[in-house]
Amino acid sequence: MTTLPRKPQVVVTGVGMYTPLGPDTNSTWSALLAGRCGVKRITRFDPTGFPVTFAAQAPNPEPGSDLKLSLVKTALSEALEQSRFVGGPDTAICVGSEASRPDLQTLARRYRLGELPSSREIMASAALAPSLLVREMTSCTGPISTISTACTSSGQAIGEGFLRIRRRQVGAVVVGGVDVLVDPLMIAGFSLLGALSTRNDDPATSSRPFDRDRDGFVLGEGAAFMILEDLERARARGATVLGTVLGYGSSLNAYRITDSPPDGRGAALAMEAALRSAGIQAERVDYINAHGTSTMQNDSSETAAMHSVFSATNSRVPISSTKGSTGHLIAACGALEAVFCLLAMRDSLAPHTLNLRDPHPDMGLHFVMDEPLHRPINISISSSFGFGGSNAVLVLGRNP
């Protein structure tokens, strides 16, 4: 009888982030558990006259430089230092990112003055710019990918990196995501779609995931990165294991571009695929970090999906959305929330959902409210469901 080779175990050896709550992982996590909120009135431009005047901004860690690339550099540096990562031909890159919106007025004014932008300035607005910066910082010479699927971008980036290691294509992958969204065009565009909360008089309570009184999501921005490795590779070089990626599932709703189907079927397909990939039953999941954007229809759709997949355990498994504190980081949210899952397992502490005060009784799920929940967490799920209908779900574990 032929014995099939065992699939590599995919572990996390480094994490880093820069968010509206703090400039690194520890400060962000501490602020999240303390119930602090990163949503405030916009200061990057004068929002007077806009339908929405608030967002969850990330201050530039390197004033005067490109914000998106500064966020990547800061968050990735933290992950690389923690991991003591070494790049090479067996290492790959997979980053979730959207194209930036260049300041066309400034570029036009400089052009008239004869100040032509450099090639680096032009490339900085491209969706692949963060991936190229990661290459410069890590010396990875394996495959490089940029995923741009709106809210699932970095969740899919982690999943695709996980698959590369599981298929023995590489021994390690730098994964993560970044997005910078707080500009006049994005505020106006999402306002026209009717997707943003309009609580201009009380920004701190504007993002209300799964609450009966929710009225839209809040734009956020930031970056989060993880170093994924084959467990044998990590042990051989003496790296500290922070957790594991056990499974990954993705799907497409094939519904409306801005709404999820009411029955949650697309999200449910991704959840079921992730559990199959991990080889575990739904009953073994100890915590779910939900996508929970605070939009009326999408939160209801996600709730339907969780009822479908976790029907036998929906009164037990703790669920929270951390977007009440951070806002919605779009392309970076999947990576940020996957790190939150790792920290929740490390500390046996499920973060609560800020501003969730009155969940709709029909939801019937165990939402973590008011304060973090102390309990052992060995397996967690991070869900990302995006505009355009893409879905990505990760199953993470505490130990190899």
The pTM for the full model equals 0.94
Q: What is the pLDDT of residue 287?
A: 97
Q: What is the pLDDT of residue 313?
A: 65
Break the chain down into helix, strand, coil percent, rounded to 5: 35, 20, 45
* Cβ neighbours of residue 106 closer than 8 Å, sequence gap 6 or more: none
Quick: pLDDT tens for 159-195. Answer: 999 999 999 999 999 999 999 999 999 999 999 989 9
Structure tokens at 114: 């004869």
Q: What is the pLDDT of residue 62?
A: 93
Beta strand segments in the chain, E: 10-18, 40-41, 54-55, 91-97, 144-147, 172-179, 222-230, 243-252, 287-289, 319-320, 349-350, 373-374, 379-385, 390-397
Cβ 21 vs Cβ 207: under 8 Å: no
Q: What is the pLDDT of residue 3?
A: 56
Task: Please work out, in degrees rounded to the nearest 5, the angle formed at the alpha carbon of residue 55 by the alpha carbons of 257 and 219.
Answer: 20
Which stretches of the chain score pLDDT less than 70? 1-5, 100-111, 116-125, 312-315, 361-363
Q: What is the pLDDT of residue 261?
A: 85
Q: What is the pLDDT of residue 106?
A: 58
In this structure, what is the dihedral angle of CA atoms 219, 225, 229, 235, given to the nearest 10 degrees? -130
Structure tokens at 57: 């901004």
**DSSP state at residue 389:** S
Strand, helix or coil at 64? coil
Chain Cα centroid distance, residue 133: 19
Q: What is the pLDDT of residue 120?
A: 63
- Cα separation, 377 vs 397, whole angstroms: 9
Q: Which residues are catalytic?
A: 151, 291, 328
Three-state SS letters, 280-346: CCHHHCCEEECCCCCCHHHHHHHHHHHHHHCCCCCCCCCEECCHHHHCECHHHHHHHHHHHHHHHHH
